[in-house]
């Protein structure tokens, strides 16, 4: 696994998770019974960056697993 991401209970509590690997940055947030995931590059924070890719996943442990898999693919695109 490329990223050390919180377990699903973290999101059930209404928390937002951000992380990075080099200049590849991501944000996962539970919003209206879904997981919203955004990706951006560079040194700026989420609010000041151009979002390069985003996706929506089911608000569940399986949805989080799918989100993590998608993030790993997005990181592969970034590294090319």
pLDDT tens series, the chain, 80 aa: 789 999 999 999 999 999 999 999 999 999 889 999 999 999 999 999 999 999 999 999 999 999 999 999 999 998 86
pTM: 0.93
pLDDT of residue 52: 97
pLDDT of residue 80: 63
pLDDT of residue 29: 97
What length does the chain have? Answer: 80
| Full strand arrangement of the beta sheet holding 53-58 | 16-21, 24-31, 34-41, 53-58
What is the rounded distance in angstroms from the CA atom of residue 75 to the CA atom of residue 21? 9
Please, how many CA atoms are within 13 Å of residue 45, restricted to the half-sphere of its CB? 2
Contact 26, 33 (CB under 8 A): no
Six token digits for residue 53? 């890719």
């Amino acid at each position: 696994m490329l990223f050390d991401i919180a377990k699903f209970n973290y999101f059930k509590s209404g928390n937002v998770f951000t992380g990075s690997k080099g200049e590849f940055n991501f944000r996962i947030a539970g919003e209206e019974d879904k997981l919203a995931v955004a990706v951006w590059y560079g040194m700026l924070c989420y609010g000041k960056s151009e979002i390069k890719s985003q996706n929506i996943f089911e608000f569940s442990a399986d949805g989080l697993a799918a989100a993590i898999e998608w993030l790993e693919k997005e990181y592969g695109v970034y590294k090319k």
